[in-house]
A and B are shown apart, each in its own frame.
Chain A
């Protein structure tokens, strides 16, 4: 108290999400400051993706509160349709609209939802496309693009809505290894520019490089939060240690019997 704190851009309080009997998220508290890059790690099925989907209103929550600075409680003070204009999301499987060209994919949201003028949006789209190196594919159709290109377009599509927060849900998980880099570079650049982001990923090296804070989840709960330096070198909890050890099998030597 008494200390001046920067108000969080996104505040999540006691978020609970059920799938029938199964509790997917069990009381999540998380606040994200403006410009912060939060990387969420954890074993599969721990609820990382579900958390992102809840933030974007794609899943109905059982209880809890999500508050966006200047707008209020999500789904109550501000409708989900409007929330999504402020919080962009990119999916693992890109999900470009297959019946539309790249530029139409990008223009759809800004023009139909935000009712902006075509010329103005297209100018912004051109700039973004140039930045991700895909300006020459502007009129291509999604099926003519590689996975990495599709994902970069999907990011541009989301960015063109001028969101305040971006959610990345395992955006490189479906990509061939040589295409992972080009997508991660785009995200790294966004981080440098000060975009607020929540990222779910399995790329540990990338997580370490891009994150301001690592959030480690297991079984629907946040187990540990720390700056990447400490999290990766000296995790506090056993579960985080176990998780990192499974990933670092190389460092345990080549005696496989010993590893079992």
Chain B
């Protein structure tokens, strides 16, 4: 009874396996969203109206369409229109990168444009080229400002990866539900314990991110 259910059969290994899938989706997405987001953020500071319009359009699309709809569109849409099956994990990663890059891009854009114009002018006045100014002045200064927002986005991506189960991915919550369902009659309190464990597992992934963010901020402060 109680927590014991966790250690029946291979339940715990399966949960950890599910956690692995969750972590895979989250961290692969975060990694690419980060790189693409920084690039997008730089593009978004462009003065070209057409570029700015399309960036804006992309961002609004991501903001307005619920993530679940995007997941369904890609997963089922792809199957219907192209008659091909895409792996659920891959679909998740693609959609999450699509989402993360947009939000990260906006964060980076915000940070870049928040750097005082005079800092850039001072760099120019020293003879630095645009590229050098970007690398040595703008990027390091905006990195500091982007960190809190970025870490917030990353933890959201970790948590939102639970939507993956709706397109058949066996991530940690889905595995948890399977365990609960098999023991529904023998152990009615299983749900409490399993979800409790899942809560701890999510915490184990997200908390280090928060700590890392704090560490970075305090390091840049001194």
Q: Taking beta carbons and an 8 Å cutoff, which residues of A are in contact with B?
A: 56-58, 80-82, 84-85, 88-89, 91, 93, 95-99, 108-109, 112-114, 154, 157-158, 161
Contacts and interface: CB of A to CB of B under 8 A. Distances in A.
Given A58-B125, A108-B136, A114-B127, 20 more contacts: A56-B125, A57-B124, A58-B121, A81-B127, A81-B129, A88-B125, A88-B126, A91-B122, A95-B119, A97-B122, A99-B140, A109-B128, A112-B128, A113-B126, A113-B128, A113-B132, A157-B126, A158-B125, A158-B126, A161-B126
A82 B125 CA distance: 10
A102 to B, nearest CB: 14
4 closest cross-chain pairs (CB), A and B: A95-B122, A109-B126, A113-B127, A84-B127
B144 interface: yes
A206 B121 CA distance: 26
Contacts of A112: 128, 132, 136
A97 B116 CA distance: 11
A240 B127 CA distance: 36
Contacts of A96: 122
B135 to A, nearest CB: 9
B40 to A, nearest CB: 23
B141 interface: yes
Given A93-B118, A112-B132, A84 B144 contact: no
A149 B27 CA distance: 45
A95 B124 CA distance: 12
Contacts of B124: 56-58, 80, 84
B220 interface: yes
A82 B116 CA distance: 23
A121 to B, nearest CB: 13
A109 B124 CA distance: 10
B125 A89 contact: yes
Interface residues of B, number: 19
Interface in B112-162: 116, 118-119, 121-129, 132, 136-137, 140-141, 144
Contacts of B126: 84, 88, 108-109, 113, 157-158, 161
Nearest to B141: A99
A65 B15 CA distance: 73
Given A97-B119, A97-B137, A108 B125 contact: no
Contacts of A80: 124
Contacts of A113: 126-129, 132
Contacts of A91: 118, 121-122, 125
Nearest to B135: A112
B193 to A, nearest CB: 48
A98 B125 contact: no
28 contacts: A57-B124, A58-B124, A80-B124, A81-B129, A84-B124, A84-B125, A84-B126, A88-B125, A88-B126, A91-B121, A93-B118, A96-B122, A97-B119, A97-B122, A97-B137, A99-B144, A99-B220, A108-B136, A109-B128, A112-B132, A113-B126, A113-B127, A113-B128, A113-B129, A113-B132, A154-B122, A158-B125, A158-B126
A109 B137 CA distance: 12
A157 B123 CA distance: 11
Nearest to A82: B127
A81 B144 CA distance: 27
B127 A95 contact: no
Nearest to A106: B126
Contacts of B118: 91, 93, 95
Contacts of A97: 119, 122-123, 136-137, 141
B124 to A, nearest CB: 6
B219 to A, nearest CB: 11
